[in-house]
Structure 1
């Protein structure tokens, strides 16, 4: 297979590239050249936001079995790339987001749930949901519904993460001491390891799939307790998880998802939207998700290999809880101590 990845040096793009190389595929990447590409790829340089940013791609000889595009800003660059590549690629895989669904999708929502309105394939930047939906429309506009794949990913974790969710938890737990663990401990989580996402994408190209797919683990694949227990285990720290009820966390003014990454309180629209999607279509077409402990361990090993500080995308919010706020909440409640491995 011949694969073109637009991006290909960070997080999901890097995972796709490494998975494709592992299968012996011929891989080309196009990006701004700010990060070193994986060894073994054909690297083209271009800034999709600048005039002439696709010139290197236009001049490159050959065609591809599939294109993978991870763009997440204004839809216009997706529109321009897809239009340029139609006729040179058989399938366009756009890594979208479950954020494209109209808020708030109910628990168990499938790919036929209503999507946000007001998106356009050639629009300038608006907001994340409409930008991603616009990217979907751009892919379909150029490749049609039969030759485009819309990967509606949810929470993505794993090595190379540059968003700051699992790396923050690992860093916090590695420091040890009492840790504010947002409960309940058995809160079900739904996410996907970037490498499992990449494997499914390559399988979609091989199977010539088309259409939208919710792409995250089955509901309850892991719990908040399993995720944080794994963080304690792999870091080997003396961290003491103190499980604290959602009402206490919210009462302290702590923001779910950002100040306490991954976590959102149960019984809310936010939890239904982020951790309760129907992924049966993806599972039926080959999605397989590794255990949470493996994702945590591999992310920790990667963090240590780069000195312990994860890269952070400048267009994403900074994640994590101020240590002073954490200490104040724990001092007021004590939490429930639980260090069960």
Structure 2
């Protein structure tokens, strides 16, 4: 298989490239050349937001495209137009954020989505950016493109810092503010499971939207943090705290306490979606302990500091604030 990778090779793109190379696929990536691609990837240079930025793709044919673009959807529109007729299949890593909020617990791919346009440029809110890209592909390929609506993505090379923050915090030891309830079901996807499913899906030419995330409860908040303690900080003491107390103290879920959301509308939106369609199409999710252990091994291999995406603010609770809250 000849695979063209668009949208970067830092996190999801890297996992896709490495998985494809391991299968013996030929991988080409378009990027700006600011950071190295995985060894074995043929690199073409171009900036999708600049005039003439797709010139490197003017010739060539590929069996499949995997596009992870997260910004203005016009870039996906232009790529699709340029490549149509020279590719076998187009897969886009979208997001469950495209669904209209609030979302009924257990909702599937038929749920209502946000309004958007494939022609948007400049700074576009995340949900509208992802939905606009979906619309661009639907217009260009008539429903034959794959729309992989991923949820929370964790694993090695994470460049947002959610799981790395928990690992580094627990590695420091001492009392740790652990947001309850301990048995709160989580819904996420290991980046390598997402990549493997994407490659199987493009080989099978799956089309349309799929929620690509683990079943809700594949792990709980307690299981996740217990795995972090075993991997990174056996001296840490998890202090489980009721969500009502955390919210009353003004702590921001998801950002100050990454991954965690208190039970309610936003929790239902992000942690209770239906994934029956993806499971029927072969999605398999590894144990949470493996995700945690491998992420910790990667962090140690790079000195402990995870890379940070420029378009996302750092996450995590300030240490002094945590001490005050624990008191």
Any conservation in 2 of the 1:8–1:17 contact (CA below 8 Å)?
Answer: no
Confirm or deny that 1:178 pairs with 2:167: no
| Match runs of 1:157-236 below 5 Å | 157-236=154-233
Deviations 1:121-154 (A, max 9, x none): 11113211111100111111222202x0101111
Instruction: Name the SS of the counterpart of 1:205 in structure 2.
Output: helix
> How far apart are 1:325 and its partner, in Å?
1.6
TM-score (norm 1): 0.94
Query: Structure 2 CA distance, aligned partners of 1:138 and 1:233?
Result: 45
TM-score (norm 2): 0.98
Residue number in structure 2 paired with 1:84: 82
Residue number in structure 2 paired with 1:130: 128
Confirm or deny that 1:243 pairs with 2:240: yes
Instruction: Name the SS of the counterpart of 1:178 in structure 2.
Output: strand
> How far apart are 1:237 and its partner, in Å?
3.8
Confirm or deny that 1:153 pairs with 2:166: no
Question: Which stretches of structure 1, 4 residues or more, deviate above 3 A after TM superposition?
Answer: none
Query: Structure 2 CA distance, aligned partners of 1:8 and 1:47?
Result: 11
Residue number in structure 1 paired with 2:52: 52
Deviations 1:77-108 (A, max 9, x none): 11111110100111111111000000011100
Residue number in structure 2 paired with 1:13: 13
Confirm or deny that 1:258 pairs with 2:258: no
Query: Structure 2 CA distance, aligned partners of 1:286 and 1:44?
Result: 32
Query: Structure 2 CA distance, aligned partners of 1:11 and 1:203?
Result: 19
> How far apart are 1:8 and its partner, in Å?
4.2
Match of 1:94 among 92, 95, 104: 92
Uncovered stretches (5+) of structure 2, i.e. residues with no partner: none
Match of 2:70 among 69, 72, 97: 72
Any conservation in 1 of the 2:175–2:238 contact (CA below 8 Å)?
Answer: yes
Aligned residues: 326
Confirm or deny that 1:140 pairs with 2:129: no
Query: Structure 1 CA distance, aligned partners of 2:321 and 2:56?
Result: 50
Residue number in structure 2 paired with 1:2: 2
Any conservation in 1 of the 2:94–2:150 contact (CA below 8 Å)?
Answer: yes
CA RMSD of aligned residues (A): 0.9
Any conservation in 2 of the 1:12–1:70 contact (CA below 8 Å)?
Answer: yes
Uncovered stretches (5+) of structure 1, i.e. residues with no partner: 332-341
Instruction: Name the SS of the counterpart of 1:225 in structure 2.
Output: helix
Query: Structure 2 CA distance, aligned partners of 1:208 and 1:126?
Result: 29
Residue number in structure 1 paired with 2:279: 283
Residue number in structure 2 paired with 1:322: 318
Query: Structure 2 CA distance, aligned partners of 1:221 and 1:215?
Result: 13
